[in-house]
Amino acid sequence: MTWLVTGGAGYIGSHVLIAFAQADTPTVVLDDLSSGFRHYVPDDVPFVEGSITDADAVAHVLDEYGVTGVVHLAGVKYAGQSVGQPLHFYRQNVTGMQVLLEAVLARQIRSFVLSSSASYYGTPDLEIVDEQEPPRPQSPYGESKVISEWLLRDCAVVDPQLRHTSLRYFNVVGSGPEFRADHSPYNLFPMVFRALAAGETPRINGGDYATPDGTCVRDYIHVVDLAQAHVTAARNLESGGVCAPAYNVGRGEGSSVREVMDTIARVTGIDFTPTVQPRRPGDPARIVGSVAAIRRDLDWQASHDLDDMVSSAWAAWQHYLAEAEAEAEAEAG
């Protein structure tokens, strides 16, 4: 059994590869390196550079490596950015999903795990949202995830033997011991770390939300826990176990952006008071997910708390800075 991990050179994808390796399950990666890093893919994992929207590249990797299951993470993210670039997000996330599913159906591949998002829900009226809540996306990014789930559902009607699930991620942070850092220009942790490294004051996007301290509330999930959820889902699909069409993947509890900032200051030992700037378009005020379903069906639950997330992410960031400094010195010398 070989699993294709699209987007496997990225921050989340590389942690998924590590989790599969720990489960003694072979993988192959398809990634265009638009946001990923070639060195994030272990040397013993086959790597194919190519876009998920390229039908020839998709066909090649599926055929060359005898793929029997797919974890689909490739695509573009960031709700705020998608508001100004809707066509780009639809091409990468929706057209890419279509191209991949056409190839999967043609080869009768029977297991498919989709990287979805809590953006599916928009800003729900509930304190805790479960998988039965209808989609109310507030950005083209969120809409692209809803459409991708629908495509997968509809293809399973065409081929009932296609077993699948969509993992609706909440806010993914932290790093494994392999120091795969999150380099996103828009995610909270790397934005704060970049500011601190530059001697600047971190900023909060929006301080006037209808939340206890005025800042956005999110359900943060450690990337190692998330990666393990993929492997657990994949094994369940392969074994014919119970698997719902979608699962929330989070901790089931919320932390505000200001609370995260306070934790970063305490864990890193760097004292700072963040400044507040206007909201970003497309950002919901609060979203926290129920994880009762994934705990019930897959016996999965998160094991890392916010301190673990911050300390591991900070260690990975320091490792990245040390490597960058060593490379700069080598080039200069």
CATH number for the domain that contains residue 314: 3.90.25.10
Instruction: For the beta carbon of residue 306, count every other beta carbon within 10 angstroms.
Output: 20
Q: Is 141 a catalytic residue?
A: yes
Least Cα distance to 243 among 135, 152, 172, 123 occurs for: 152
Same-domain status, 208 and 235: no
Same-domain status, 244 and 316: no
Residue 182 within a domain: no
pTM above 0.85, yes or no: yes
Question: What CATH number is attached to the domain comprising 146?
Answer: 3.40.50.720
**Any domain includes 159:** yes
- Tell whether 258 is covered by a domain: yes
Q: Looking at the structure, tell me whether residues 123 and 204 fall in a common domain.
A: no
- Which domain covers residue 193, as residue numbers? 188-217+252-288+304-332
Task: For residue 323, tell me if it sits in a domain.
Answer: yes
Are 104 and 210 found together in one domain? no
CB contact burial 319-332 (16+ within 10 A = b; e otherwise): ebeeeeeeeeeeee
Examine residue 299 and state whether it is found in any structural domain, yes or no: no
**Which candidate in 141, 169, 220, 320 is catalytic?**
141
Query: Considering the domain boundaries, does residue 295 fall inside one?
Result: no
On whether both 117 and 65 belong to a single domain, the answer is yes
Q: What is the pLDDT along the chain (333 residues), one digit of tens a residue?
A: 899 999 999 999 999 999 999 999 999 999 999 999 999 999 999 999 999 999 999 999 999 999 999 999 999 988 878 889 999 999 999 999 999 999 999 999 999 999 999 999 988 888 899 999 999 998 999 999 999 999 999 999 999 999 999 999 999 999 999 999 999 888 999 999 999 999 999 999 999 999 999 999 999 999 999 999 999 999 999 999 989 999 999 999 999 999 999 999 999 999 999 999 999 876 778 899 999 999 999 999 999 999 999 999 999 999 999 988 888 777 776
Strand-strand pairing, 163-169 and 246-249: parallel
Residue 47 lies in a domain: yes
Q: What domain count does the chain have?
A: 2
| Residues 104 and 67 both lie in one domain | yes
